[in-house]
Amino acid sequence: MTFKVGDKVVYPMHGAGIIEAIEEREVLGQRQQYYIMKLPMGDMQVMIPLRSVEEVGLREVISPEEVNRVFDVLQGERTKMSQNWNRRYRANLEKIKSGDIFEVAEVVRNLALRDKEKGLSTGERRMLDSARQILISELVLAQGLPAGEVERRINEVLG
């Protein structure tokens, strides 16, 4: 998949951003083309080699129509999760790594519900915060709303 400057894209595990440039750079003695992506959340810049776009799972931001599906997932029933902390953590990590916003929304919903009932370990709390940021970053670009507004809507839906 090829992207151009100005495209809104999602980099799994990092969140959504905008391709600001396509540049040739030399890294570790190798010259190659990179997408220069600006992540508005945390004001970061990421370089993604063009040849590894498929591998890393770079994809377009969801359409405004798909935003409603994300909120449906957030409002849905909790999915069955392992009682074993380690298994649950690994399963959730795989969902986040997939780069699929609906899977990320599921992780946010499940961990938020678990937090209300039993509280979360430090690791799961960090995972919830990270998954929320990834979710918010994509919804901000998909809807063109400020991060605070998107976060407020997510909090509303999660109760």
**More confidently predicted of 65 and 19:** 19
Closest-CA residue to 122 (of 110, 134, 130): 130
Q: How far apart are CA 82 and CA 91, in angstroms?
A: 9
Query: Where residue 46 sits, what CATH number does that domain have?
Result: 2.40.10.170
* Nearest CA-CA partner of 36 in 13, 57, 6: 6
Predicted model pTM: 0.91
Q: Looking at the structure, do residues 101 and 140 belong to the same domain, yes or no? A: yes
Model confidence pLDDT, tens digit, residues 25-58: 998 899 999 999 999 777 889 999 999 999 999 9
- Cα(62)–Cα(67) distance, integer angstroms: 7
Indicate if 154 and 99 belong to the same structural domain.
Answer: yes
What's the pLDDT score for residue 81?
A: 82
Structural domain including 50 reads: 8-60
Comparing CA positions, the residue from 103, 116, 114 lying closest to residue 69 is 103
Tokens representing 129 are 């915060």
